[in-house]
Amino acid sequence: MDVTAQAEAAQGGERPAMIRLTGVGKTYPDGTTAVHDLDLAVGAGELVVLVGPSGCGKSTTLKMINRLIEPTTGTIEIDGRDVMSQDPVALRREIGYVIQQVGLFPHQRVEANVMTVPLLLGESRATARERAHELMELVGLDVETYARRYPHQLSGGQRQRVGVARALAANPPVLLMDEPFGAVDPVVRVRLQDEFLRLQRELGKTVVMVTHDIDEAVRMGDRVAVFATGGRLAQLGTPAELLGRPADDFVADFVGSTRGLRRLAVTPIDPALLEPMDGVAAGDLAAAVDLDSSLEEALAAMLRDDRAVVGVRDGARFVGVLTPNGVHRALRASLRDPAEEPA
């Protein structure tokens, strides 16, 4: 499979590439090839998730972007500039970095932890403090309650939030996140994922995130890169493409046998495929869902109300109905190549 062509096609020229890896490889001195001939372009404002089994080169890839690790082959550009030609310290100020163990300074209060980077950048203490408080609120940490606490006085989820706040403190255009939600229980994890997505809609950072959890990958990613052992990119695509059209047996196996179900969650309702309201009595409708809901939410509403039809609303107005058959058609249509559409 020609991954480069796939990457460029998926890029679609919609957004200029903010991060571009070309032919990037990393072989460690002991001969281990962690990453092999990787081409990957991440658009400005895009969130790309790197996912794959343990040891497939995800973290190595991330660390090559901010030069914590130097590639053995290929080039990495950020905003058109080769990272190898930049001062690593200056480069890392442009790139927020969030890691699983958070890496907070244990003897500094939350506020001081978040203020570190603005102070390094030469802000006054007052401005840095103000910025730290803004960021704490942004990630959902009450300043009154938490600013004066030390990291050990926080829950795992709260520590992760401080880590995200600190990474955002220099307002970097690029954010690298290595298993950012890995250290918390599944319920907190989903909440942090949702909150990060909300934040991302507001901030529009260019994000590369590493996880080994395919559910997290398809939930979070605009596109997902599946790595196979040996640092080989097995597939790069939208969550819907990955689940609906895995490139090979490895990817099919990795995304799991329930991928058919999971596609429902990543496929939006297609307004073009709704059926008209005519002839459907309001009493036959399951509770309506909004037009921007996923197929999963629509199907869940049908099953919950034990009806084979759900109303779809755009604001206060009903725009049509969806049936199980319509859900199936929408799933199929979501994978159709636009070039194959009848004129």
Ligand X SMILES: Nc1ncnc2c1ncn2[C@@H]1O[C@H](COP(=O)(O)OP(=O)(O)OP(=O)(O)O)[C@@H](O)[C@H]1O
CA-nearest of 92, 196, 114 to 162 is 114
Identify which of residues 28 and 105 has a Cβ nearer to ligand X in the complex: 28
Q: How far is the CB of 287 from ligand X (least distance, A)?
A: 41
The Cα 226–Cα 211 span in angstroms is 10
Q: How far is the CB of 28 from ligand X (least distance, A)?
A: 3
Count of residues near ligand X by CB under 6 A: 13
The Cα 280–Cα 291 span in angstroms is 18
Work out whether 85 is an interface residue with ligand X (CB under 6 A): no
Which amino acid is present at 94?
A: E
Identify which of residues 181 and 327 has a Cβ nearer to ligand X in the complex: 181
Candidate list 18, 34, 64, 165; residue touching ligand X; CB under 6 A: 34
The Cα 163–Cα 105 span in angstroms is 10
Q: Which two tokens stand for residue 290?
A: 């909004």
Q: How far is the CB of 61 from ligand X (least distance, A)?
A: 7
The dihedral formed by the CA atoms of 202, 160, 56 and 232, expressed in degrees to the nearest 10: 10
**DSSP 3-state assignment of 266?**
helix
The Cα 167–Cα 176 span in angstroms is 9
Q: 73-78 and 17-27 as β-strands: parallel, antiparallel, unpaired?
A: antiparallel
| Interaction residues for ligand X, span 205-234 (CB under 6 A) | 212
Identify which of residues 72 and 171 has a Cβ nearer to ligand X in the complex: 72
Candidate ranges 26-34, 80-88, 198-206, 313-321; the one touching ligand X (CB under 6 A): 26-34
Binding mask 54-83 for ligand X (x = CB under 6 A): xxxxxxx-----------------------
Binding residues for ligand X, per CB under 6 A?
28, 30, 32, 34, 52, 54-60, 212
